Amino acid sequence: MAPDERQQIAEREECTVSRTAFDLAYDELRARWPRSTEEHDVGTPYGPTRVHVYGPADGHPLVLLPGGMATGLVWFANATALGRRFRIHAVDLVGDAGRTERRGMPLRNADDLNVWLDALLDGIGAASAHLCGHSYGAWIAARYGLHAISTTASPISSTDPADGSGDRLAGRQPS
């Protein structure tokens, strides 16, 4: 076997191990969400977007956008409190970590993120929604708020999903 063939095989095996480790970590984080959380893949022009849905079916939509290199599952610590008041849609961002698939149109610029979020909101049936993001997700939410003022139901918030900020959004003081 030629050295470059061995290198290619090693790279494929390394990728397989990393993917398996990622899937295990993803599933472990998913297990920290309430049992009734649903998983949906919402069609967009950029590929299907994974959305973790929790809360009352008639609750006003709250779209949670994670920071870069994170998944919608990072909001696990806030899901129960927020789910009492809102229908949560925690999103795995397009072109980032998670189980959202990149298929279809290429994501070229920030305007494409607005088109993606338009399609996502249409796909979840939200005529209007609250948006909450952390870091990169907050930037996406803020840009979208300027793009779609009529469909953004509340001011854009930037919060750290791990610090209890979600409790304040749900109207409770963190413990």
CA dist 126 and 124 (Å) reads: 6
Question: How many C-beta neighbours within 10 Å does residue 22 have?
Answer: 14
pLDDT digits (tens, 9 = 90+) for 64-76: 999 999 999 999 9
pTM of the complete model: 0.80
- Per-residue pLDDT band for 20 (boundaries 50, 70, 90) equals confident
pLDDT digits (tens, 9 = 90+) for 96-149: 999 999 899 999 999 999 999 999 999 999 989 999 999 999 999 989 988 887
CA dihedral 76, 80, 82, 87 (to 10 degrees): 90
